[in-house]
Structures are given as C-alpha cells and as structure tokens.
Structure 1
C-alpha cells in the first residue's frame, strides 16, 4: 500500500498504484486514515471494499474507458477568445491529475489523457481506448471497432492455446533422471508405446499419444555427434577463415589487443558421447549445413548401439542398428507375469513357444566346427586336419597341453571327416539323425590330491534314451574330495570298484564309430575326464548360448527348467549322470524340432511388424496396424520380409519419394493393393557412402546400385570389398547438406500428428571390421600353421583394440519430434 508524508507536498500528484487503478474504475481513490501517530495518509480504498470490488467487477475495459475519456469540457470552463489567441489551449480535461506514465512531450499536448499503464491490448502503436478523440462519435466508433478486433484476437489466441495444449508431443522431460545412455532399443520401445502395447518410456514425456497417428523412423548412417560439437569439421581449412586479410592485418598481436579485435570463434554445442542428456539445438551454435535441423527438432540425443561383451566389459561385436530396431522382444504372457510374482516359483520362467514357427533341422547342422571347439577348449581330433603342416601344428599344441597318448589320451578311429557321411539312400525321409548313431554322455568327477577332477562314473544313452553304458570308475590317484553333493559319489560306492579309465576308453572306442555323434552339456569337461577326442560333437552349452556370451554358459538345470519345464538335480543326494544325459538329449531333440534360432536371443524376439500386426488401429473398425520398409535394393530379401509394404530404391531421392507414398497410403503391398501404413522405416545411404562406411554389399545387384551412386555423386568409385576414399572438409559438408535437405523433405511431406524419429545407428564401423577380419584370419591360420609362421597375431593388445573400436562404434545420435 502506498503512503506519503502529510504536508510534505500538497500539490504533488498522486502516483500510487491503488490511486491509478481506482481512478480508472471511477472510484474514490483517497481514504484518509487517522492512525495513532496522525502523520500518514493512506492512498487506497479500504481492504473490505477492494475485496468486494475485485469479486464483482468484470466489465470490459474498452467501452468504459472510451466513455469516460470522451466527455467534453463544460461551456463555462472554456477560455476567452483572447486567451485562445494569446496562449496555448489548456487541456480539455482539467480534472485529470498529472499522468506520471506519459512522456514529457505528451505532458504539454492536448492529447494527453490518462490511460491504464498496465494494459497490453494495443491497436497498432496506440493502446485500446487511449487514442486521440476528435469527437465523441469518432471515439465511440473506434472503441467498438477495437473491441471487435480484440474479441476476435482473444478467441483466436484461446483457440490456439487449446490446440497447443491438446496437441501431441514427445519432449525431453527436465524432471527425468537418466541413469544410463538412451539406446536404440529405447527408441524401439517408444515406437511400440505409440503404436502397440509397449510400456511408457521414462526418458521422454509423451503427451496425447492416442492422437499420434503414424510414426516414421529414418536411419541415417554417417551422422555423428562430432559434427555438432565441432570435433568433425564440415568445412575446408580455406573456408574456415572468416577474417579478410586487409582486416586481419589491423588486429593487434601484442598483449594490449582488445577482445573484440580478435577473430570471433563460433560457439559449439556442449555435448559428448559420455552425456546421458540431450542438448538444445541452437542455430547459432550449429554449422550452416546443420542449422535446418534446428527448425525441425529441439534436441539432439546421444544414443548408444547394442554390443556384445564378455564379463570384463570387453566388447567384441556390435549389433546391427537395423536388426536392433526392427526386432522386438516378445512381451510376457499373463501366465508368465503371474508366475513371476508367485513366491512359490523358483528358477526361470518356462519358455513361451506360441509364437514360434518350427523349422525342423538335422542334427548334423549342430555339429561343432573346429573354431567352436578351439574356443571352448576342446582337444581337437586329428581328422579335422588334412595337410602335414596342420597335423604337425596340432600335434605340437596337444603335446604342450599334455593331451597325447603318452599322457593317457586316445582318439576315436576316424581317419577323415568324410568317413562320417551317410549315403542319401540310407537316410530315412524326415529323420533328424540323418542316419547317424547319436549318443549322449555324462560323467561324474571327484577331486584328487592335486586338485584335478578325475573320472568316477560314466553314463552313455542312445537316441531313444536307453542306457548303453553306466559304470563306476576307480581313479589311479587318491581322492581328496568326493564332492558328493554334486557327483553323488561316496567312498562306499568306489570301495569294491576295479574298473579303470583305460577300460572305459576301450569300451567307448568299440561303441563310437565314424558315423557316431557324441552329445553332452559342456562336453569338453567330460571328454577331458575321459581323455578322449572325437570329431563329431554337439554341445548344448553352445546350442543354448548364455545371453552375455562366452565364456559364460547356462547350467543344465536352468535349461531344463526354462525349455523342458522339468526339474533335475534336486535334493542333496547329488547328480544322476543318467538323468543328466537324458535331459541333455531332450534339449538336443527340441533344438532339432524348433530350429537353429531356438534357445538363442531369437527365441524371445520377433519382427516389429509382426508385433504391430497384432495391434488394432483406433477408429478403424478393428483393422490391424501395418508397416512399411523403404530402403536401397530389395528390402523383401532381408529386414523388410515381414513388412506389409516394401519399397526398393536406388538413391536417397527415391527413399524420400517412397516414404511419401507409404505415409499417404499410395504404396502397393505384397498383394498389390494400397492402404494406410502406420509405421514406416527407411534408410538414407548417400552420406554413409561418401564417408566410406558402406563396403559390405552382399549381392551383385546392390553392388551395381552402389557403384552407380558413387558415379552420380562424383565420388571415386571402387570395386567390391575395396575402401572408398572418405570425403572431408567442404565435400563432407556438401554431403551432409544434401542429407539434411532430404530429412527436411521427409519432414515436410508428413501429415500433422506424425511422430518423426531420425537416428544414425552407429558410429564409424571400419576399425571394427578391420579387427574382426584380422581375428578371423588368425583363427584360420591357427588351424594350419605354427605360431611363428602366422601372418597375424591375436594377442591381448588386439583384444583391447577391438573392444575400444566397438565402444566408439556404438556412439550415435537421434532426433525426435511430432509434426
């Protein structure tokens, strides 16, 4: 409340806020309050009066102000004619006090009329109701006209606010607390949340998701975060200099040079691949070629690809960004969710096979090759080596590992791998055994004095589960620990046993022939205990790989619970080798019936198009969602095989046109009909091409398209498998500008309420490919040559280099918006 000292200045204008508002409302603005001191005058209406007035007062301001300010002066207040000629006319409204909000030029003018200084409603440069008043009618007409325009503008603003409030959006939530990087799988989860049955994302805020009608996802390999933070230059060194020579010569070189005389360095986005949070796309911090992205997207997100690593975080493989986006995890059934919540359930959930399409596969397709055997520490049978040099190298390695005859090892009688082949005439039609004799072996071991595991029991069952061999074995060395809780062996069981390891080896050599296939779980441990080698092996530890990759393996008990819904190795009596052998046999039989993908990551995954096909499109009469793939070459042969619409292209321009056709429902599906498409996945490849990242063509027709694109882009052509010279400087900037222009064309072609997601996939993959090829070459040479004769060496240095390259290749970017 404003106060002034009584008697300080009797003629001073009343400039209090309460007085101004009271005057505009034609109220008595002065209320003298005699307090105890009697020294202050309160300029305001009473508190009770103000409260009642604020509740009840709602008239339009324009008409009231206009009516008040259009009142003319009384005739008796008009000055004499002589006074008019001799002096400047007095203001028409003598009753108005001095206006403290007007300029000095207005104070002496006839147009100075008190107005509401807090009003923001203006018409042109004049506030509504405070313009010049030539006449009462003119002022009233202008007031009504201004009032009409104001109502229309208010209604328009209200309509816009209502639309903006209810319009769908996907935005970065400042309240979100990210604990890790956003991954490509998170982008996929966002798509499934918008169109299907996915869970709500926690890293972005989605508003009015039911109004998002379509989703377009664009993969743009070649975009990197370094282009946004300045680490990757999009200009040549000549183009970077923005200061002319005649101007730069005036810049002082001594310490007294002024800061504004120094060449200005443009600011860059402060974001790194280590950041979890996105960065605002500010045009003044972006290179010219990237500024159009700021008109479409508000943030750039650092996104990580998916990779495989061992337990010590050593990455050795990067998943395809296409496969990661277009392959989704199968949601758990209601039964599985209830079972998981149940306190009585122990172990893994049973595998759901309702979605799975069986692919009957012969057991011979699951025989471990030489690389698998070497990686899983098997003693490789001599039949795998053909040349004298390879036989000598393998013999030397086995000698160093103490796995030769002098150490008690034996090899089954198989001269060559061809000895195990069975003529087609002898193979029963549809048989998964392919005419082979299949045996499953399981051994129980105890710990000797030297802490080595020694054989104490061996069991062998055939394809029908019948016991072929089951004997206890007396070790040649004293037993330190019988491991009864695991082996089930007790001292009393071995007290009268006379069978030795050579006796078991002799029996096995009589049973196993060149046509025999030996099964087991972690079979290398059993064969090491038996000191036996055989060329044809099937290991369920390899057929059902651990999600984290080698050297981890899933236990036989876990696999039986998950895939067979069977409990084994219960109680404290130890394992039963016959039970374990039959359980292993059941897992192999199931693998032969289901197919190679069963038991791998594909078991719980399916095509995103298949998952979308189970979701009903809103307001469509129970029509299901559909998807489209727009890509270079023939998408139907690969990732687009499950999509309802597949559009093949030969350039990025074709991709942009194909997206527009698909999103408008004008692209033909597999049946030749057209219809609405809910989800479109597409890829631009020209930036990837000029950067030299695209060198993995697998078919001749795609290679022809690639060579034609190189020629069209005036880029040095190369043959298949050869590296393309990477564009840099201005050439890279031009390629990025073309790609950004294509992204903008896609954005402009989208209808309203369409979600648009752009992601780069991964970073530069070339170093990863080089090291992986080097590793494969090493593995091939290691089979046939001695260590000293290898052309490449694969040591811990190369392992660490591959891990670093994979981690760098995981780095990517993404942009998200709803048009």
Structure 2
C-alpha cells in the first residue's frame, strides 16, 4: 500500500535524538537514482524490515477504519499553523492586523493561519519589538560565545543555521569570526522558494540562550514582510500598517455601482470660529498682547460681520463650484531683518483660472540681515530698485479682498503675519491635507504637490529659492482637487481609519452595544499621535515602564483612574531599547522625550543638509558605509532583557488572550545610508558637475539600495493564544 503525501508537520517532526528529519523530496530522488540512501534512511528501512514476518517479505498491515472517531475538544481558542496550509506569499503586517480585527471585531477569517473558537478570545495584545531579527534565531547574528562541538574534535567551529536549514534540519559550518557573520547576513537571496513563506518551529535546544524563552511562549516564528515599495526602494511605516485599518463599506455601498458622490466628514461643520461674545473678547485680548492692531501697522479687511460673505442664491450660477465667491490663492516670500523677525519681500496672488492677479516685490522697513536666497529666491540686486512698501501692498489688498473673497494658501498664518493683515474667509491647504501623524505637524507644500498633483515644485529649494507664483498655483490646484474628490480626500480617513475607531464600533457581546476599548503604551507621548483615538494612552521612558503599562492596561486600575476596571480589550505597545542599542533608532535627537512618532520610519539626519552650496556637509554615514554592530556580549544582554520583558508580559496575560509580537522591519541602516547618499547627490548635482560632487549615484548604488530595502522589509512575527 503506497504511503500518503507527507504534511509539513511530518516534515518538521522531531526524531528521538532531537534532530529534524531531513529526508526530503530531493534526497528521495537522489536515492532512487544512485541507489544510495542517507544513514538515517537506511536505519529507518532496517527498522521497517524488522516488522516483517518471515523471510518471504510479507508484512502485517493494521487497517484503520475509514471513519475515525472525533476526539472531544473544548471551546478554548487557539491560533496555530495548519499543516494543510498552502501559502502563496509572505505574511504581511496587514495580515496581523486583520487577525486582530477577526478576533475582536468584524474582520474576515485569515487564510494563513488556523484559528479555532475565535469568539472566545477576550483580549488581544500586540507588541512591536524593533531590532529583533530572524538571524538571531538561526545563528547568523551571534548572541553567545562560540561553542566547540565534540564531534569536530574541538576545532573551534560553530554550527549555525539559516531559516531554510532549520526547516530541513541541516547545519551550516562557519568560523566564529565577525567577518563570516557579516558576509552571511548581507548575502542576498537570488531565489525565493515557497518554503520561505512558511513558519519555522521553535525548538528550545536549538535556540541561543537569550531566546530560549520564546519556545515556551510561541510554537513558530513567522517571516513577516513590512510594507514598502520595491520599485522606488521605500520602506513604509510598520506602525501605521498595524494601527490604520481599511475603511469598511455598508451593504448599501457595496450594492451601488458607478461613480459615488463624495463622502461627508463625520465631524465637519462650516461655522465661524468665534461665536460667543466671550470668544470674541478673548481673541481681541490675544491680538492686543501680540500687538496686532492698527497702531502696530495691522489692517483688517472690510468685513463687518460673518454673514456679509454669504451670496444670494439668485446670484449663484447653476453648477458653480465657487458658489458665487471670488477665489484668490496667495503666497509670500520673506527675509530676515533681525534674529527672530521676518519681513515681506514678495507677494503673489493668483485667480481661480490660474492667472496672476498681483505679483510685486516689497521693500522691508528694517535693514535686511539675511535675504534667505536659497529659500525665497530674493537677492540684494532684486530689491535695490524697489520702492513699494508694506503699506502700499496692504492698500491694494484691501481693494482686492472683499467680503465675498476666499483666500487660499499654505500655512496662511505665516503669510498674513508678514502682511500684517487679517481676513475671515480663508482655506489653508495645510489643514485640508493634514499630516498623517496629526497636529501640530504639517505636510510641506512640495510633498503635497508630489503626492496629489504629481508635480515637482520648489526645485530650487536650498539653491535658487522658491517661486511664489508657482506655490500659489499649487495651492489652488490642491483646493480644486479637494472639491472634486470630496472632503475626505487627502486625509487619513480617505482610505483607512484608526483601528481603535473600528474596534469601538464592535460589540463585546451580541446582546451588548458597548464597543471595545483600546490602549497604546509607548515611549514619549503617544496621546499626541498614534494614541489620539485610543481610550487609554500611557507614555513611558524605558522598556520597564512599557511592560508595567501593558500589564496595567490589560488588568485595569482598581479605582478606574486611567484604565477602567477589567482593562481594555486591545493593547498595542512597543519595546525600543534593543532598537536603540543596534542603532535602528536614527532620530537620536528625538529620543525619548518627544512624541512616539519620531521614529516611525527609518530616516537620517542627512535630510537636513547645510544650506551652504559651496561647502556642503556630507553626513558621516555616507562617508563610512560600515554599519557598527554592538559586541555579541552587549547584544546578547539586550536581547535577554527584551526576551524577559516579553515573557513577563506573557505571564501576566489573562487566559484566552491573543498575544502577537512582531519586529516591524528588518535592518534599515544600510537602506537609510544609501537613501541619504542619493539625496545628497541629487542636491549637489543640481548646481554642480558630476566630477565636482562629493558623492555619486550610479546603477551600482541603485541596485544596492534595492537589495537593502528588500532586507529592511524582512521582519519576524509570533502568534499565540495564552
């Protein structure tokens, strides 16, 4: 009787000697071709022959009933790798997020993992641990002193295994030198086989000592791919890939076909800022303290009351987007007249059709100390013949800006301050297209034009300066696109929403309308960014506080001071000490006193290059391509501490709690170095010849960046239900 096809569980099955059975398809074919079998296969054949009766070769077979009795199983939840799974791609961070939504909300059932009795899962804890790599588990990154093997006669070699070798139970012999580890870790895979998509079983005796507790908590280590763009060699945020979920559609929306009307914002209202007398008085007091009255040179447009801007319906042309209002886009350029004072040097106004309404240079009142030419484009020669003053510009603007005029710009507060003018009807593209991490951060106009208009503006930034007319037209086109696409266009809610909002709409029980609650525990001030939609946000300064915060969020406060009794349903936290030790936390000046969003994606300080064109500053990371790694002893100690933190959280979790640990990314340092080199070359090549550039960018560097980005996207993950 022919044996059945083996499953992956049979493939990973442990032998009596603690080794993995390596008898695979390739070795089977080799054995058939040369009639030679490995020693373990011959032993297995001999043991099978022992069960045969007599010398005639007859074998006794015990037939099993086709209908096997089902074992009685409880309803305790579990998450495990299925032996029948057929994975076609890497598991992504979005798949981990969907698993959380499936367990706690309205997500779809995952296809990459087997989940039993998901309705019985009570809580979910997701822990992000940057700095954790698969190379630590298979021995490529040394976490302990080299062990001498008895079988090799004590020649000082160490048996290390890569992820594929762990599956096949095959060891790779290397020497204990650091060069061997660096060359192995930097080796680029040419071919990715389907086996790379599957998880690897964790076996405690095979793991380094600092990582052995992982085998007590998790059955497998999963390869998890970070979000990114292979075409442009970019790595996207693994944090927002977990905490931003795609928008769900109602049954009615799914039935609709064809173009849909723009969606209305949930909290959007068009109303005046100051409604009550108290609010108006407070604003007047603020202006008085800021010296923003007529005696200080400020002017107000001639708008007596808010209703003056309303246009009668009879005057509105049918189908008009502007609804009878005059639209003017404005941008200004400034110079420095003292250490902290900026004055107007150029003002440009563009109409709704894109034509120039006003474009004039302005002579500052005070002596100029810095023309800011690399950014404003204004030079001393340009302003020498100018006689137009700020008062002249204010007089012209008072005739152009009527109660029916809407002023458009980017960060208009800076332009209006330079003009010393107020106008009640404004549209600021910095608010129309908010920063993904929320206020007080703002997206630059250059980035918004690249993303939404596919237009390159401010090409002379840092060298020849900006063109205020070009910037004003970019603002105008961004507003037009917003009118066409709808109010949600350009916001984080256009394609996704916070996972905490989605969990808030999910009921804990079918007979209850109470939504699920969430918490964020992170370094810095998570409430200001990623935790703004969470019910609880706990800021920390070290990993010990993160561990204590997770336990507090899961269990709850006895008095319900911050965390309600019984804890929250979903907790996201991040351990960062390992990331800091390995140099993955690149924004060193933002540690940990600032917002937790400071190091969402790998970057480099080279983006803030010197404004001097003659002697540009070259970052040391470009000149020195060697990436320093802490000593094996220091790294092993940090990994042991991080593992102890993870194990401590695991021990404190209540039963029926899903526990997910993911690294987010692989090693991003080489990618960040090459990206900084590319940016430095692009800045220099705008104003220099090839031979005069301090750094160069060729196809060799481009291919190296592509490989480094692919490596940076190789993360790991662990999933279990306690």
Q: Output the TM-score relative to the length of structure 2.
A: 0.54
Q: Select the residue among 480, 492, 498 that pairs with 1:607.
A: 498
Q: How many residues matched? A: 458
Task: State whether structure 2 residue 187 is matched by structure 1 residue 270.
Answer: no
Residues 453-492 of structure 1 mapped to structure 2, 5 A cutoff:
none
Task: State whether structure 2 residue 580 is matched by structure 1 residue 686.
Answer: no
Q: Select the residue among 275, 280, 302 that pairs with 2:201.
A: 280
Deviations 1:624-680 (A, max 9, x none): 111001111211122112111011112211111111110012299897865630000
**How far apart are 1:781 and its partner, in Å?**
3.1
Task: Give the Cα separation in 2 of the matches to 1:729 and 1:602.
Answer: 45
Task: Determine if contact 1:229/1:270 at 8 Å carries over to the other structure.
Answer: no
Task: Give the Cα separation in 2 of the matches to 1:764 and 1:192.
Answer: 28
**How far apart are 1:620 and its partner, in Å?**
7.4
Task: Determine if contact 1:521/1:584 at 8 Å carries over to the other structure.
Answer: yes
Task: State the match for 1:208 in structure 2.
Answer: 117
Distance 1:423 1:753, change over 3 A: farther
Distance 1:194 1:601, change over 3 A: same
Task: Determine if contact 1:234/1:732 at 8 Å carries over to the other structure.
Answer: yes
**How far apart are 1:183 and its partner, in Å?**
0.3
Task: Give the Cα separation in 2 of the matches to 1:198 and 1:638.
Answer: 25
Task: State the match for 2:135 in structure 1.
Answer: 226
Distance 1:335 1:179, change over 3 A: same
Task: State the match for 1:431 in structure 2.
Answer: 406
Task: State the match for 2:433 in structure 1.
Answer: none
Q: Select the residue among 81, 91, 106 that pairs with 1:182.
A: 91
Task: State whether structure 2 residue 214 is matched by structure 1 residue 293.
Answer: yes
**How far apart are 1:248 and its partner, in Å?**
4.2
Greater mean deviation of Cα atoms: 777-786 or 181-190: 777-786
Task: State whether structure 2 residue 650 is matched by structure 1 residue 759.
Answer: no
Residues 691-730 of structure 1 mapped to structure 2, 5 A cutoff:
691-697=582-588, 699=590, 702=593, 726-730=629-633
SS for the counterpart of 2:197 is coil
Task: State whether structure 2 residue 556 is matched by structure 1 residue 665.
Answer: yes
Task: State the match for 2:507 in structure 1.
Answer: 616
Task: State whether structure 2 residue 518 is matched by structure 1 residue 627.
Answer: yes
Deviations 1:109-137 (A, max 9, x none): xxxxxxxxxxxxxxxxxxxxxxxxxxxxx
Task: Give the Cα separation in 1 of the matches to 2:713 and 2:470.
Answer: 36
Task: State whether structure 2 residue 644 is matched by structure 1 residue 741.
Answer: yes
Deviations 1:210-231 (A, max 9, x none): 1000000000111111112222
Task: Give the Cα separation in 2 of the matches to 1:754 and 1:771.
Answer: 41
Distance 1:521 1:308, change over 3 A: closer
Task: Give the Cα separation in 1 of the matches to 2:559 and 2:328.
Answer: 39
Task: Give the Cα separation in 1 of the matches to 2:696 and 2:378.
Answer: 20
Residues 616-655 of structure 1 mapped to structure 2, 5 A cutoff:
616-618=507-509, 621-655=512-546
Task: State whether structure 2 residue 469 is matched by structure 1 residue 536.
Answer: yes
Task: Give the Cα separation in 1 of the matches to 2:250 and 2:647.
Answer: 41
Distance 1:197 1:762, change over 3 A: same
Calculate the aligned-residue CA RMSD, in Å. Answer: 5.0
**How far apart are 1:806 and its partner, in Å?**
1.2
Deviations 1:223-268 (A, max 9, x none): 11111222222124xx433559xx947x9xxxxxxxxxx9894766
5+ unaligned residues in a row in structure 2: which ranges? 1-70, 169-188, 272-326, 334-358, 362-370, 380-385, 412-425, 427-448, 458-465, 597-618, 622-626
SS for the counterpart of 1:702 is coil
Q: Select the residue among 232, 237, 258 that pairs with 1:315.
A: 232
Task: State the match for 1:790 in structure 2.
Answer: 693
Task: State the match for 1:329 in structure 2.
Answer: 246
Task: State the match for 2:300 in structure 1.
Answer: none
**How far apart are 1:536 and its partner, in Å?**
2.9
Deviations 1:416-469 (A, max 9, x none): xx99x9769756789342599xxxxxxxxxxxxxxxxxxxxxxxxxx9xxxxxx
Task: Give the Cα separation in 2 of the matches to 1:524 and 1:223.
Answer: 38
5+ unaligned residues in a row in structure 1: which ranges? 1-160, 252-261, 368-380, 393-414, 437-462, 464-516, 526-532, 544-581, 706-720
Q: Output the TM-score relative to the length of structure 1.
A: 0.48
Task: Give the Cα separation in 2 of the matches to 1:431 and 1:179.
Answer: 53
SS for the counterpart of 1:805 is helix
Task: State the match for 1:656 in structure 2.
Answer: 547
Task: State whether structure 2 residue 504 is matched by structure 1 residue 587.
Answer: no
SS for the counterpart of 1:606 is strand
Task: Give the Cα separation in 2 of the matches to 1:641 and 1:669.
Answer: 20
Distance 1:235 1:293, change over 3 A: same
Highest Rg: 1 or 2? 1
Q: Select the residue among 92, 105, 109 that pairs with 1:196.
A: 105
**How far apart are 1:359 and its partner, in Å?**
10
Q: Select the residue among 148, 162, 180 that pairs with 1:241.
A: 148
